[in-house]
Amino acid sequence: MTVGRVNAEWLRLALSPPVVRRALKYAVVVGAILIAINHWDALLAGDLPGSRLAKMALTVCVPYLVSTFSSVGAMREAQSRQGLGGGGSLPGSQ
């Protein structure tokens, strides 16, 4: 399998609806907890300049990416164990 094909398959899995939905759920929940932990004082004081809002947005991106990478890795491992090599249906997409 070529590098381009591996990247295309990874991207196909990462953008599949079940993976995106799962990642969004984790991003909202875990991101909100991390924002509360890391920016609680600024939120209470109303100190929310653009730079802090950008940091908050990045804070939400981290659990989204972790969930996506984990899901795609698990799906690819399951595919390789089944000998599908990327040609099977996505788990949870039926």
Size (the chain), residues? 94
**Burial class, 91, CB count within 10 angstroms (exposed 0-12 / middle 13-18 / buried 19+):** middle
Q: For residue 41, give both structure tokens.
A: 């004082």
pLDDT in tens, 4-49: 777 899 999 999 999 999 999 999 999 999 999 999 999 999 999 9
pTM of this prediction? 0.78
pLDDT at 94 over 50: no
Domain ranges of the chain: 32-74
Residue 34 contacts residue 62 (beta carbons within 8 Å): yes
Residue 56 contacts residue 28 (beta carbons within 8 Å): no
The CA distance from 53 to 10, in Å, is 30
